[in-house]
């Protein structure tokens, strides 16, 4: 959970100075309660909805937290634009007016740091999810060795997006653990498609265009468990994606509250239901 005092201290030092006027102080309280501004004798302007850029793999769960945000803070429901984390980071670095950015890994935040929009200290972990290899049940693939079979169609993320980076790390971990240096080559030879975001990988897999895919476990939410199997990994091979958040310069009222809502331990059960791992688990 973000420490509000810590955030204010950071903001006062750097490029996020505008967050204070949008997220704290008397203006925040007045707008939230809808009371009159006694000093001016005019009613306050109603708060605008937060604009959030979110990794495509978070798209399914965001409406849940949107409703919780409205219930807890009596503020407008946030709006969400989902896409590949790298694509969103580029848009923000080029001036896209978002208030909050939720990325699938910390690497995606580098363009914002390089552009001096945020500092490393402004970036906070939110939640995790396992990286899994899944196979369509009808193909009869139940082990890693089965994936080597000629003609197996595999879909993965491109190396420039988080799920693609995690795929490469997972293949290296499997090869190192098993001592089989040929596994990565055999796996790669069967790849038929590299996708530009995690959601596209899962869509192609469940559409039947591939036999095997490397996904976030959270991507499996909502699909029939009879249609796929999770291929067991070697012992001691485990990889998780850590999602991170940042409140952007000039963020509107409620931005810090929204991020704190996501990391509140009371909502761990929501994350778990959708295939995520709350922090600390």
Q: For position 201, what pLDDT does the model report?
A: 96
Tokens, residue 190: 């069967």
* CA count, 13 A, side-chain hemisphere, 24: 14
Q: What is the DSSP code (8-state) at residue 2?
A: -
Q: For position 281, what pLDDT does the model report?
A: 80
Q: Are the beta carbons of 65 and 227 closer than 8 angstroms?
A: no
Tell me if 4-127+243-278 shares its fold with 129-240.
yes
Q: For position 85, what pLDDT does the model report?
A: 94
Distance from C-alpha of 50 to C-alpha of 252, rounded to nearest angstrom: 6
Average pLDDT for runs of 10 along the chain of length 281:
38 32 31 29 58 95 97 95 94 96 95 95 96 95 92 95 95 92 92 94 95 96 94 94 96 95 96 93 80
Among the CATH numbers 2.130.10.10, 3.40.50.800, 3.40.50.920, 3.40.190.10, which is that of 4-127+243-278? Answer: 3.40.190.10
Distance from C-alpha of 39 to C-alpha of 223, rounded to nearest angstrom: 56
Domain boundary assignment for the chain = 4-127+243-278, 129-240
Q: Which class for 12: exposed (0-12), middle (13-18), buried (19 or more C-beta within 10 A)?
A: exposed
Name the phi and psi angles at 162, rounded to 5.
-50, -50
Q: For position 181, what pLDDT does the model report?
A: 84
Q: Which fold would CATH assign to domain 129-240?
A: D-Maltodextrin-Binding Protein; domain 2 (3.40.190)
Residue 119: Cβ within 10 Å count: 16
Under 8 Å CB-to-CB from 148, ≥6 apart: which residues?
A: 183, 186, 187, 190
**pLDDT tens-digit profile of 106-148?**
999 999 999 999 999 999 999 999 999 999 999 999 999 999 8
Long-range Cβ contact pairs of 57-61 (< 8 A, separation 24 or more)? 57/104, 57/129, 57/163, 57/197, 57/198, 57/199, 57/216, 57/218, 57/219, 58/82, 58/102, 58/104, 58/243, 59/199, 60/218, 60/221, 60/222, 60/274, 61/218, 61/270, 61/271, 61/274, 61/276
Q: Are the beta carbons of 37 and 25 closer than 8 angstroms?
A: no
**pLDDT tens-digit profile of 98-110?**
999 999 999 999 9
Q: How far is CA 36 from CA 47, 48, 140, 207, 254, in A?
A: 14, 17, 67, 54, 19
pTM of the model: 0.79
């Amino acid at each position: 959970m973000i420490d509000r005092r810590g955030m204010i201290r950071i903001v006062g030092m750097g490029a996020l100075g505008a967050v204070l006027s949008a997220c704290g102080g008397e203006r925040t309280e007045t707008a939230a309660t809808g009371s009159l501004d006694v000093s001016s004798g005019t009613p306050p302007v109603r708060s605008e909805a937060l604009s959030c850029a979110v990794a495509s793999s978070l798209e399914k769960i965001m409406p849940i937290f949107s409703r919780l945000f409205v219930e807890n803070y009596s503020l407008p429901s946030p709006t969400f634009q989902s896409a590949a984390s790298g694509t969103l980071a580029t848009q923000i670095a080029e001036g896209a007016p978002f208030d909050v950015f939720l990325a699938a890994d910390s690497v995606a935040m580098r363009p914002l740091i390089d552009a001096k929009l945020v500092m490393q200290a402004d970036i906070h972990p939110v939640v995790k999810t396992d990286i899994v290899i899944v196979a369509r049940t009808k193909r009869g693939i139940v082990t890693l060795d089965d994936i080597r079979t000629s003609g197996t169609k595999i879909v993965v993320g491109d190396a420039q997006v988080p799920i693609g980076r995690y795929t490469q790390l997972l293949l290296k971990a499997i090869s190192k653990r098993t001592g089989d240096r040929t596994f990565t080559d055999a796996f790669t030879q069967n790849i038929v498609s590299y996708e530009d975001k995690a959601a596209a990988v899962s869509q192609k897999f469940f559409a039947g265009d591939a036999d095997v895919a490397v996904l976030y476990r959270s991507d499996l939410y909502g699909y029939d468990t009879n249609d796929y199997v999770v291929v067991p990994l070697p012992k001691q091979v485990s990889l998780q994606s850590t999602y991170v958040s940042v409140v952007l310069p000039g963020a509107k009222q409620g931005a810090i509250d929204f991020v704190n809502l996501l990391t509140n331990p009371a909502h761990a059960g929501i994350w778990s239901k959708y295939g995520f791992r709350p922090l600390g688990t």
